[in-house]
Amino acid sequence: MNLWNYIVVCLSLLLLATLLWWEIRRINRARRIGRVIATILLVAGLAAIVLPVTYTGSRIAGGREGVLLTEGYDPDSARIYLSSGVEVKDLSDLHLSALHVLGYGLTEGERATISDVPIVFHPSPMHTGIMSLHWAQQLLPGQACRIQGSFYNTTGGPVKLLLFGVSSLLDSVEVRLREGNFELRTVPVQADRAVYRLAVVAGKDTIEQESIPVEVLPARFLKILMLAASPDFENRFLAGWLSEKGHGVVIRTAISKDKYDHAFLNTPAMAVDHLSSSLFAQFDIVIADAAELRAMGAAEHAALWDAIAGKGLGLVIKADSLSHDADSVRMHGAGKILQTTLYTTYARLLAGERKDYAALWTRILQQAAREKEGAERWHFSPALPEVDHPVNILLQTAASMPQGLLEEGNGPVSVYFAQHPFLPFYWSGVYWPREAGWQAVSTPQGTRSWWYAWKEGDWATIHRRDRLEGTRRWIAARGEGKGAVMEAGEVHKLLVAKGWFYLLFVLSGLFLWVERRI
């Protein structure tokens, strides 16, 4: 109990004494007892409106309790706990019987430093906002950017999520439920990096506004070998479309016995009459008529299947009436085999449905294409790196003793890596981003990759949720073997809602007033 509470109690007692004095001195003696009770209730109600009234259950026995206030704590409950415990500032040295953690919980760093003490967690309720989110930061040209996530809505009304990019509204979605998933979709029009904005709007208020960085990677052209058993429109149009898109295409069409028609589009001429492993190694995809596959010699056949299984070559078979293979897509070693029965897709192109044609063949070829191995691959954690917070960099490379170069305002900064003890191609290091925005990373020999660092305070709801869930999990895991850890559900000290006292005050006042009129 602090001074304020004493003052309130004294004043209320004074008021009660005065009022009771009046009641006893009153000439009209009818219903005196009723009036006295009503007066006591009136003053009690008034006092309870001001004082924090709690009801308590079993408490942790003995000792001193500490209170740790983290972001988002409720001041009223803080007052209750602080009235019986001490506020904790330094986490490293705690001699307490229990520690109450109020708010959204502890960060990972704080969790690591905290000493052995039973912890009671009082999580604050979540606010309206984006709770989780995923999107692909790096996209291929023409690939749609899909932003999926879940949303927590406490406003009670509909909330709109708007996606802005390159100065226009790209997509929007309305969330009506308390908790719901959403998806926003757009095909980026820019050719390189851009930062989209995701705004959360309730009515006319913007609740949240976040940056969504998106990078469209440069197109990487495929090299495709087409083996046709007879000339047809389908191959001709497909080759035309692919070469127009910049891909290298070699077509070998059988026109007679051992006679072939050759076309080399966007590639230098080469000998393709005899198929060998060295020839297949130059291509990403082979599109072959089923008849042409059957006509292959044993050596050619073996070379092709070796290239698929060992080197990841893709094979698209154009099935005919003699094909019996039922699978339309299957894996064979490192490569993929697709089977299609579509022979007249060129009709779509002729009908002007170029978009459909492109979508169809992109889907087919994208699935079959041989994967291009990069020299290095970068991973950054946490998923939403923040300025002035440590970012763990994980580099996957075959090179020995790599070094990370991170570009800053005045020249690149080196990050030195530690090698993984079991997987020698994993290298990890830590970097603290200095400025928000796009960050360039490279090795001295390699190419530049881009990642993004957010301002401090961005994605507030996601960070809060992470902290809350993390603290919960940490407490649950900690409970084993440490005994006296309490769960947040076992809290026995709760505020009584003020509304009840308000009602008590009004009703007893009303009674006193009405009684005098009767």
Partner 1 sequence: MAKGTNILSTVRRRWMLEGIVFYVLLSLSVSLTLWILLGRWGYGAPLYGIGIFCLLSLAALLLFRGWKITLVDTARALDRWIPELEESSHLLLRPENDLGALEKLQAARIEGRLDKAQLPHPFRIRLIISIGLVVVAAAPWAIKSISPPDTHTASGLEKATPKKSLLPAIQTVRIRVTPPAYTGRPVRSQQDLNIQAEEGALINWEIQTNTAVDTLQIILSDSAQIQLQPAGPERTLWRWSTVAAHSGFYQLRLSKEFSDLYKMEVIRDEAPRIVIRTPKPYTIVDIGESRRVPLAAKVQDDYGVQDATVIATIATGSGEAVKFKEQVLPFRTVFTGNVPAYDLQQTLDLDALGVHPGDELYFYCKARDNHGAESRSDMYIISLPDTAKLMSLEGLTMGMNIKPELFRSQRQIIIETEQLLHGKDSISVQAFNDKSNDLGVDQKLLRLRYGKFLGEEAEEGGSEESFKKAGDSPADFGNAGKVLDAFTDKHDNAEDATYFEPAIKQQLKATLTEMWNAELRLRTFKPREALPYEYKALRLLKDLQQKSRAYVAKTGVKLTPLDPAKRLKGSLDGIGQPVIQSTRTQEPSPEDKLRMALSVLDRQDAFTSPAYGILQEAARQLGRQAADHPGEYLAGFQALKRILAGTKAPSDAHLAQQALRKLVPLPEANPSAPNAPPDTGLSQLYFNKVNKR
Site for partner 1 in 321-380 (CB under 8 A): 333-334, 343-344, 346-347, 354-355, 358-359, 361-363, 365-366, 369-377
- The nearest distance, CB 191 to partner 1, in angstroms, is 3
- Closer to partner 1 by Cβ: residue 230 or 392: 230
* 101-130 positions binding partner 1, by CB under 8 A: none
- Closer to partner 1 by Cβ: residue 109 or 156: 156
Distance CA 455, CA 387 (A): 6
As beta bridge partners, residue 314 has 285
- Closer to partner 1 by Cβ: residue 375 or 476: 375
From 505, 479, 501, 491, select the one nearest 118 (Cα to Cα): 479
220: contact with partner 1 by CB under 8 A: yes
* 159-218 positions binding partner 1, by CB under 8 A: 162, 164, 166-169, 187-195, 197, 199, 201, 204-206, 209, 216-217
- Closer to partner 1 by Cβ: residue 39 or 397: 397
Q: At what angle do helices 3-25 and 32-50 cross, to 10 degrees?
A: 160
- Give yes or no for a contact between 427 and 360, defined as CB atoms under 8 angstroms apart: no
Tell me the C-alpha to C-alpha distance, in Å, between residue 221 and each of 14, 246, 247. 89, 6, 5
- Closer to partner 1 by Cβ: residue 252 or 472: 252
- Establish how many alpha carbons lie within 13 A of residue 167's alpha carbon, considering only the half-sphere containing its beta carbon: 0
The mark string for 132-161 relative to partner 1 (x by CB under 8 A, - otherwise) is: --------xxxx------------------
* 13-72 positions binding partner 1, by CB under 8 A: none
For the record, the structure tokens of 461 come out as 């709801």
* 247-266 positions binding partner 1, by CB under 8 A: 247, 254-266
The mark string for 405-434 relative to partner 1 (x by CB under 8 A, - otherwise) is: ------------------x-x---------
Checking DSSP bridges between strand 449-453 and strand 437-442, what pairing results, if any? antiparallel
Tell me the C-alpha to C-alpha distance, in Å, between residue 484 and each of 64, 229, 348, 419, 476. 14, 78, 71, 39, 12
- The nearest distance, CB 473 to partner 1, in angstroms, is 30
Please pick, from the candidates 56, 113, 154, 230, the single residue that binds partner 1 as defined by CB under 8 A. Answer: 230
The mark string for 282-301 relative to partner 1 (x by CB under 8 A, - otherwise) is: --x----x-x---x------
For the record, the structure tokens of 482 come out as 């440490």
Distance CA 140, CA 220 (A): 9
Distance CA 236, CA 27 (A): 113
